[in-house]
Amino acid sequence: MDRGSFGVEVILTYLLFKISDPRSIYLSRGNHETKNMNKIYGFEGEVKHKYDINIFNLFLELFCELPLAATIGGKVFVTHGGLSSMDDVTLGQIRSLKRGCEPPEGGLFSDLLWSDPQPFPGKMPSKRGVGYSFGPDITEKFLSANNLNLLVRSHEVKDEGYLVEHGGKCITIFSAPNYCDSMGNKGAYIHFGQDLVPKFTQFDAVTHPNIRPMAYAQGMGGLMGL
């Protein structure tokens, strides 16, 4: 929602698509769809600038109700961050997590939003300070235990817009090209056909109105850069 300065337009466009075709449009919660992250990185300031605090509070209610994960065809697991430090996590446990609240500081809920893959086996606390880094063995164990084939997640900029890791069983997909108008990365999305084989489409950034990234973020100069 809040690294760029058009988060309001992004979420309203999504909601209009959802209203138009509710059975075809889905959104899972990310680590930035929280009150604290919205305050730090600018979405709160953006909504207050364009609307008011009442509209911002409605967005917070929406974010708290978003699902934390999804499956595609019963074989592809999709979440924003990654896997948990907990052993033997099941889809049933994830399904039973209470929504309608801000994320706790740790545990399965938080791990799904914050964790990242690592190239070597095992798991360790994340350098982000929240969540965990998990290796290919952790991915394999989770997928096998839940009769899944593939983990798809986001949460990290990738030069080509995506990265396939963990022996082809973990894909990071990142759809924001030239992140923060400075990274020079491509964006990408995945299309899954009936065979559930991922097909990637890459794209470049396009020109947008001359408002710098995080123009509404607290501690970032506020609107002075507009």
Report, as residue numbers or ranges, the catalytic residues.
32
Strands 123-125, 76-79: pairing is: unpaired
What are the Cα distances from residue 48, in Å, to 29, 174, 220, 223?
22, 28, 16, 12
Instruction: Tokens for 150, please give them.
Output: 């593939």
103-108 contacts, C-beta under 8 A, 24 or more apart: 103/31, 103/34, 105/130, 106/130, 108/84
Q: Packing angle between helix 43-50 and helix 7-20, nearest 10 degrees?
A: 80
Q: How far is CA 84 from the centre of its chain?
A: 15
Buried b or exposed e, range 45-76, using 16+ CB within 10 angstroms = bbbebeeeeeebeebbeebbeebbbeeeeeeb
- CA–CA dist 101, 108 (Å, integer): 14
Helix (H, G, I), strand (E, B) or coil at 122: coil
CB neighbour list of residue 176: distance below 8 Å, 6 or more residues apart: 3, 4, 157, 187
